[in-house]
Structure 1
Amino acid sequence: MKKTLAAILAVSMILSVTACNDSTASGNGDNSGNTASSATDNANTEQLRSNPIAVDADGNIDMDVALKYETDVDALIKKLEAKTPDGSKPVSENTNEETLELFNYLKSVYGKQIIAGQQYSDANQFENIMYYNTTGDMPAIMGFDFLYAQGTDTPDYTQIEEAIKWHNEQNGIVAFCWHWKVPVDMSDKSVKGTAFYSDEIRDFSLEKAVTPGTDEYKVIIKDIDTIALYLQRLETAGVPVIWRPLHEASGAWFWWGVKDRDTYDKQLYQKLWYILYDRLENYHKLTNLIWVWNGQSKKATVNANTYDIGGMDVYPSSEDHSVQIASYSTLSKYTDDIGKMSALSEVGYIPDPEEVFKADSKVKWLYYAPWCKEFVCASNGSGAVITQLGGTPSINTERMSEEFLKSVYSSEKVITLSELPDFKGTTKKIPEFIKSWKFNNPKLTIENDKLTAYEQ
């Protein structure tokens, strides 16, 4: 962490502590005491658009400063309820130019076309190589994960750099979720390790996590501010983020989920959502977030003024390329009347665009994003992708045929990478992983290569 954070924090660290020490917990999310400063990023001075985040001399979150700000959830909800939801603009009042450009683009295609997405797995980029080899194109949205960004001894920061390259060099759209790891056992310090699955956690209380003064609360504040640093790294690089935290809250499989009636009655998931939203939006004032609520159930609903897109994750038990009407009907009850967009934020199977856009279809999905590895590529049964000569992965034919994928990527209703508009501050370059793969396969010819106009 020290090496990665040092670049962005070298200049802003001292200013961060000064600015944050001037701010106090307002009870309504106000953070007027903080002012923006500049940060160094890979030796280039760039404008820091959001508030500086206080860190100590080692680049870790300064908890003395961080804990001085507390979210007054009741006051925040009252403030949110006083506003009429307006789906024509982002919920964030801090939105920068690049993020507004992306938001307006998403609104312009919603209901007319569906954007092809894909969850990122690792730097091998097997999924994208498979797409390119099969269709001559790649997904427009890449979904990354803050899974390794906090609470680990050997964190993998590759996804931050890959996300910046995806947007700035390939002109792609970046999405991030967060499989939020917390300590396995808060009551027994001898038990090491972190986890996000409920059945792997022995003692971590969601109720205590949203209660200031507890050890659990200190954990989540440190984690949120750590993620804020990475979001700020993306912001400084000019990368808008489709931001999907606290996902799949309708079930008990994640520690933040609505697991029982007591959790629902006390609105514990909602309190965690509001704390997270308030710190990123009103305290740190990040400018690059398009918020996705992925609660998937009435019992996990949050105020509509805290999200731009409603997401549903759908994993059928057998091959199913339908429009997922049941999931859309569930989601639209909370989103349609207030002008929110809906998305298949995770899918096990790509929906057939011809079915999505049939004349009598009532479904409007903004984008779809299959999960990675074996969900699109042939694997060895344990999740590892099988590659042929030259490192070429192939389609998992148990989930879709080559003909189906080609038909999806050639459909006028589907937006792929090559069909995105030129976003502000980006280039269109052939990715290094594609160059390397083609170098190892010199006799390879790509049928209907749609990236021929990209810089080589």
Structure 2
Amino acid sequence: MRVVVCLFALLFFHSFALCQSSLNYLYSISGKKTASGQHNREPNAQPAKWTNAIDSLTGHYPKLWSGDFLFQADNIANRGMMIAEAKRQWKKGALINIMWHACNPARSQPCGWDSTGVLSRMTDAQWQQLLTDGTPINARWKQMMDEVAVYLQDLEDSGVEVMFRPLHEMNQGLFWWGGRRGANGTAQLYRLTHDYFTKTKGLSNLIWVWDMQDFLSLATDLTDYNPGNDYWDVAALDIYDSGTGYSDYKYNAMLKVAGNKPIAIGECQVLPTAAQLKTQPRWTFFMGWAELVFSSNTPTVIRELYNSKEVENLKE
């Protein structure tokens, strides 16, 4: 089955990560099953805290484990612990997802969750520096990517495939990297980042997840922030709008932009129901956001989802 899926993918797409087993798995379940997933945010000293909490509640480990390179001093210092957990989870059979809440390269690292850190802004002049080779801000971003690439290379050397989700929620103006439309906006930074990791650093174990948020402008956003089909393998949508939830509008918009590529629920606090997954079967995974899963869903709802026939957990 994996060989067939891989050959099919090679006929239609030109991504760098197409023949990896994790991506083949997503193709194989697309339209049939949805893999369960759980994010483990701060602290990196406890990189399986929320994954273990799901098992304690449901009796199932999620199929997808997720970590974050993060931005605070202690979490940067403990990136190695997060990577060691990624290796353990891979050996258990989990899909590995890693994201990066990065500090602003025009400012300082480490940083905080505030207006001088992850939530800071760049001036237009600083943004142009970021995208221009040889400038101080561009060099600083590459230095920060070098630091992360060491860990990604360690995973590659250990045979671990990574669904890599940097610059997430690109249409979200909350973060320093997001909210810039057009050819020279956030999409260009994504292309620069992709090419640096894959071409300059030579990483071949990355499955690129292009991630958006579920604003009402989604249909337009998917055009304005698309870095190009050659730059991503999976299209993910973070679903936080409680008023519209898992609407057909969002699902159909993702199907339209993805074509035959996998789509996924990149983050959520309110989990999808088994009934919703049955009517929207192309979601290949959902990823619950750390502690919000437990504050936004009752224990009964979480158990029902993890025990439903629509969902594939780790042991399956």
Q: TM-score, normalised by structure 1?
A: 0.58
- Could you tell me which of 201, 204, 218 is aligned with 2:120? 201
Cα distance in 2 for partners of 1:90, 1:411 equals 35
Cα distance in 2 for partners of 1:290, 1:299 equals 22
Do 2:68 and 2:100's aligned partners in 1 also have CA atoms closer than 8 Å?
yes
Q: How far does residue 306 in structure 1 lie from its aligned partner after superposition? A: 1.1
Q: Which of structures 1 and 2 has the larger relative contact order (alpha carbons within 8 angstroms, sep 6+)?
A: 2
Cα distance in 2 for partners of 1:308, 1:146 equals 21
Q: How far does residue 402 in structure 1 lie from its aligned partner after superposition? A: 2.5
Q: How far does residue 198 in structure 1 lie from its aligned partner after superposition? A: 5.8
- Could you tell me which of 30, 33, 54 is aligned with 1:110? 30
Alignment map for 1:404-423 (pairs within 5 Å):
404-419=301-316
SS of structure 1 residue aligned to 2:90 = helix
- Could you tell me which of 170, 173, 198 is aligned with 1:249? 170
Q: 1:402 and 2:299 equivalent?
A: yes
Q: 1:323 and 2:240 equivalent?
A: no
- Could you tell me which of 260, 284, 306 is aligned with 1:366? 284
Cα distance in 2 for partners of 1:129, 1:104 equals 26
Q: Which residue of 2 aligns with 1:132?
A: 55
Structure 2 counterpart of 1:285, which letter? G
- Could you tell me which of 230, 253, 256 is aligned with 1:333? 256
Deviations 1:393-443 (A, max 9, x none): xxx3xx222222222112121000111xxxxxxxxxxxxxxxxxxxxxxxx
Deviations 1:133-182 (A, max 9, x none): 22211111011111149x879622221111111112x2211101111112
Q: How far does residue 364 in structure 1 lie from its aligned partner after superposition? A: 1.6
Q: Residues 303 and 131 of structure 1: is their aligned pair in 2 closer, same or farther, counting only changes over 3 Å?
A: same
SS of structure 2 residue aligned to 1:376 = helix
Q: 1:311 and 2:311 equivalent?
A: no
Q: Residues 356 and 206 of structure 1: is their aligned pair in 2 closer, same or farther, counting only changes over 3 Å?
A: same
Q: Residues 271 and 166 of structure 1: is their aligned pair in 2 closer, same or farther, counting only changes over 3 Å?
A: same
SS of structure 2 residue aligned to 1:160 = helix
Query: Gaps spanning 5+ residues in structure 1: where?
Result: 1-84, 187-191, 378-395, 420-456
Greater Rg by CA = 1
Structure 1 counterpart of 2:53, which letter? M
Question: Identity of aligned pairs, percent?
Answer: 25
- Could you tell me which of 82, 97, 100 is aligned with 1:178? 100
Q: Residues 372 and 207 of structure 1: is their aligned pair in 2 closer, same or farther, counting only changes over 3 Å?
A: same
Cα distance in 1 for partners of 2:132, 2:140 equals 11
Cα distance in 2 for partners of 1:366, 1:341 equals 6
Q: How far does residue 196 in structure 1 lie from its aligned partner after superposition? A: 6.9
Q: Which residue of 2 aligns with 1:356?
A: 277
Cα distance in 1 for partners of 2:154, 2:140 equals 22
Q: Which residue of 2 aligns with 1:161?
A: 84
Cα distance in 2 for partners of 1:131, 1:103 equals 24
Structure 2 counterpart of 1:247, which letter? H
Do 1:198 and 1:253's aligned partners in 2 also have CA atoms closer than 8 Å?
no
Alignment map for 1:71-90 (pairs within 5 Å):
none
SS of structure 1 residue aligned to 2:134 = coil
Query: Gaps spanning 5+ residues in structure 2: where?
Result: 1-8, 214-220
SS of structure 1 residue aligned to 2:266 = strand
More helix by proportion, 1 or 2? 2
Q: How far does residue 344 in structure 1 lie from its aligned partner after superposition? A: 0.3
Cα distance in 2 for partners of 1:87, 1:407 equals 39
Do 1:135 and 1:406's aligned partners in 2 also have CA atoms closer than 8 Å?
yes
Do 1:209 and 1:216's aligned partners in 2 also have CA atoms closer than 8 Å?
yes
SS of structure 2 residue aligned to 1:227 = helix
Q: How far does residue 333 in structure 1 lie from its aligned partner after superposition? A: 2.6
Do 2:209 and 2:236's aligned partners in 1 also have CA atoms closer than 8 Å?
yes
Do 2:48 and 2:85's aligned partners in 1 also have CA atoms closer than 8 Å?
no
Cα distance in 2 for partners of 1:347, 1:87 equals 33
RMSD of aligned residue pairs (Cα, Å): 2.8
Structure 2 counterpart of 1:308, which letter? D
Deviations 1:185-243 (A, max 9, x none): 48xxxxx8535766743656222101122211111111122211111011111111111
Q: Which residue of 1 aligns with 2:158?
A: 237
Q: Residues 401 and 266 of structure 1: is their aligned pair in 2 closer, same or farther, counting only changes over 3 Å?
A: closer
Deviations 1:78-124 (A, max 9, x none): xxxxxxx968667116x6xxx62222111111110000000013417
Do 1:343 and 1:365's aligned partners in 2 also have CA atoms closer than 8 Å?
yes
Q: Which residue of 1 aligns with 2:143?
A: 222
